[in-house]
Chains A and B, each alone.
Chain A
Amino acid sequence: MSPNAICRTGTALAVAAALASLTCDLAAQRRGRFRRGGPPTTAGAPPEPAAPVVKKEIKNYLAIRGGTVYVGTGQVLRGATVLIGDDKILAVGPGIEIPEKAKVIDATGKCVSPGFVAVKARGMGAGSTEDDPKDSVNPFDPQIKMGLAVGITSFLSVSGFGGSMPSGSSAVFKLAYGDLDGMVLKHGHVFRMSVPLAVSQMKTFKDTVAKAKDYLEKKDAAEKAAADKPEEPKPTERPGARRPTGRRGGSQAKGPPKDLATLLDIMSGKAKLWVSCRRGYDVTNLRQALEVATLLGTGVVLEDPTVAWAIPDEVAATGSMVVLSPRDHDEPDPAQPATTGSNIAMSRILSDVGVPVAVHPPAGMFGGGGLGTGGILGQDLNTPHVDAAYAVRGGLDQHKALRTLTLDAAKIVGADSRIGSLEPGKDADILILDGDPLHYRTFVETALVNGKVVYEKSKEPFYNHIHR
């Protein structure tokens, strides 16, 4: 069975078969490339996902020339060229030789930026994350164009609100308008839970983590023993047949127990855990989220940790990352003002200790994660750059603030090997902007996803009547 076949049929069952899904998930990242005709570089063991060299013949070259290029890492290059080969970035910098057959877009006087990554969003053609999202995405959803118009080129969609154990389903979608195969970047790799946990819930969580660690130890021991024995032939399977479910399946016997699969994925770094701290207004609750990270032995993504500004070093020590809206305001408790309430400087404070931060729209009465047509501009997802601008208001450096929408946001959704910066080998998801990326009047003029121009302001109705 090829990794591809495992993937198509098996992803939905991956929770039940963690070992199988290890192979599967890596393959899933590359599936888009298979479908667009490029052969896998190696059939058996998949290469590292961030392979900088694309070993296939490039059919189309595209160069974006002369713009001020915001690489997404914090670096800015003036008068630089971004060279694209098919769906990937080949080179970025000044004085890059543009192949003769390349199509050229002149970006002189404009800014070039990585496409924005929305860390919490919905709609925009998204499929159901419960199953293989590819079966239900809509690449012609008009909302895709609306998202592109405001600079979003990919987003994380998470279902479930999180309970006392990691749960839910997720996918990173790309706004590859009209391209079914290009829309799903990753699937089933983000789980959610929330703090505060009651004493009994915390105990259950600790017990389950202990069970998972115990399972890993036993598995390691068994693998060591098996390494000495000759390899058994794999059972053959009818092509296209439904894989047996976990409970009945023969291969399941070798997989982890169902209740541990999610935790094991998180502990191995294959999946990410988002911990919602919105209800935790003081450090006690936040520290519980950090304890979860420590128990798992891996950093988590802290969702709206109101008081993380008060204990930045503790957050950094767990290797966790943070998702927030800089302007969300919570009054401190007058009895303990130093450890309660919000602080608009939080993005800067966390950034100073090396914690990656991504921004999302505010939680206000009409705020939220969706693209709006309801008119509340500046509060919904129609102005992601404004959310980053508020991080600057709190003292974050201009260029670092762009990372809250690009590279750091990509890290937080677990897709930074593919998106988030304009670096060779990454997906060509690029914006050409009519001004400073974080200025309130800046509009997207052109957006590219997977190397294709999918949005042009002048050709779409949304904003083409507005002239700066």
Chain B
Amino acid sequence: MNRATLATALCTALATALGAQDKPSMEIFFGQRPKEFKVAKWGPEKLPSPCYAFTASKLLTGAGAPIDDAVIVTRDSKIVAIGPRRDVTIPDGCQVFDMGDCWIAPGFVDLHCHMMGRNRRDYNDMVNPTNPELRTLDMVSMDHPQVKSALAGGVTTVLFIPGSGTNMGGFGTLTKTAGKFEEALLRFPGSLKIAQAGNPERRSGDLGADKMGMNEGLRRTLDDGYRYYRAWEEFDAGNGPKPKNRPDLEYLRGLFRHEYPVTVHTQIYQVVLETLRELRIEFNLWTVIDHGTFDAYRLCGEAQKVGVPVCNGPRQYHFDRNESRFIGLAHAWYAGGTHGWREPVPGVGRDGIAVNTDSPVIAQEQLTLQCAMACRLGLPYDVAIRAITINPARFVGADHRVGSLEVGKDADLAVWTGDPLDPRHHVKITVVNGRIAYRRDEERPRF
């Protein structure tokens, strides 16, 4: 084989490989995402920040293959250049941080946290059995210790959601973890928090005490929201009168407009089955499974089919008492399988899995440990990195801003002393919106 043929063959092979990579392993159902956001508010697209260049021995992009001996240049809260050091020209006047053997990783994204709660507690305001009128937006505080811990753990974007004390906890906020509140905001609402079962059973309301009753309660509220949404759609199309303003249903309107997803506290086979049926199919919502623990992974085929991705955690394994096996949950969702008596089913693949902390259940700074544990139990390393970067960003429709290190995206990154998943390594510097938000105090490190 001459050199030219070899080169062609290599190129073909590479193209095939890349092609396989480019084809998503799972089509996530985003509904008909509108171009115009009528309910949701996005934070500022661009902010002033100095020009920084960080060099590192390895750069995990979160999107494609890692780059060795890399440099990344940031300015005005955006990434302006990235690549191998020999290919990137650092602009004049740019402050250079030579980070030697360090690694650079995207700022990590945690889709399930209650981090700004008071006294390290969940935010469970149990006003009604379902609370579409509540929101975490007013609770956001960048002075909270857990926010500092997030930065120390390399976490720069969080979906701060209400707890699971009621079936519908309220609306979560998608925010960065540094800067002034208005600047940090990525999007509000970030999502609607629904807790389908496995905590909201308070036996307090008039809606029954268990799954049937809770499903019915959710259905009633969502149905109200759907009617409200339809009335506005009719009005906007010029087909109906102007609806009476209903602040308690306003955010549900945005939910049905598919401006943001519903993130569902759902776990155990039967409950997740109901999530897929009721929320995704019956109400046609853009749906993300949160938790997805216990034996729910047996529904990976169904979830994949209807485009519902999984943000798994804080539990990382299911102990199968029949077989005495520690089943890695993230891996089980990812890979699919036979799951006992069934025909083999596909998993949600590398694009359908994320990992969360549910902080303060697991301390916010330990998001990478959650991923390391998923990895320990079988999740491939590259998928594990995606599970706290591009995948969660995509699940909530924020992947045009965060989740990977690419030119044009937000300059959110962390400099690590090595593999971010290895608890022995730590963050030296965290950058959010192009500004240095955290530097490790080596005398008294936070984490």
Contact = CB atoms under 8 A, between A and B. Distances in A.
A47 to B, nearest CB: 41
Interface in A373-426: 373-379, 382-383, 386, 389-390, 392-395, 398
B79 interface: no
Interface string B275-286: 000000000000
Nearest to B321: A373
A59 to B, nearest CB: 33
Contacts, number: 115
Interface string B341-378: 00000000000000000001111011001101101111
A374 B326 CA distance: 10
Interface stretch (B28-36, B101-109, B160-168, B422-430): B422-430
B447 interface: yes
A297 interface: no
B424 A389 contact: yes
A386 B369 contact: yes
B424 A438 contact: yes
Interface string B364-397: 0110011011011110000000000000000000
Interface residues of A, number: 40
Contact of A440 (B421, B442, B445): B421
Contacts of A389: 422-424
B3 interface: no
A462 B319 CA distance: 9
Interface residues of B, number: 43
Given A327-B447, A389-B423, A440-B421, A461 B325 contact: yes
B387 to A, nearest CB: 15
Interface stretch (B183-191, B196-204, B310-318, B405-413): B310-318
Residue of B145, B360, B369 with most chain A CB atoms under a 10 A cut-off: B369
A99 interface: no
Interface in B309-341: 314-319, 321, 323-326, 328-329
A377 B377 contact: yes
Contacts of B378: 465-467
B139 to A, nearest CB: 18
A362 B423 CA distance: 14
Contact of A375 (B319, B369, B421): B319
B332 to A, nearest CB: 11
B388 to A, nearest CB: 14
A364 B445 contact: no
3 tightest Cβ-Cβ pairs between the two chains A and B? A375-B315, A373-B319, A392-B424
Given A375-B319, A389-B423, 10 more contacts: A331-B145, A362-B363, A364-B361, A366-B314, A375-B293, A376-B314, A378-B369, A393-B423, A394-B445, A461-B324
Interface of B: 145, 149, 293-294, 314-319, 321, 323-326, 328-329, 360-363, 365-366, 369-370, 372-373, 375-378, 421-426, 442-447
Interface of A: 142, 309, 327, 329, 331, 343-345, 362, 364-366, 373-379, 382-383, 386, 389-390, 392-395, 398, 438-441, 460-463, 465-467
16 contacts: A327-B366, A329-B363, A344-B446, A345-B444, A362-B363, A374-B319, A376-B314, A377-B317, A378-B369, A390-B423, A392-B424, A393-B425, A440-B421, A441-B375, A460-B324, A463-B325
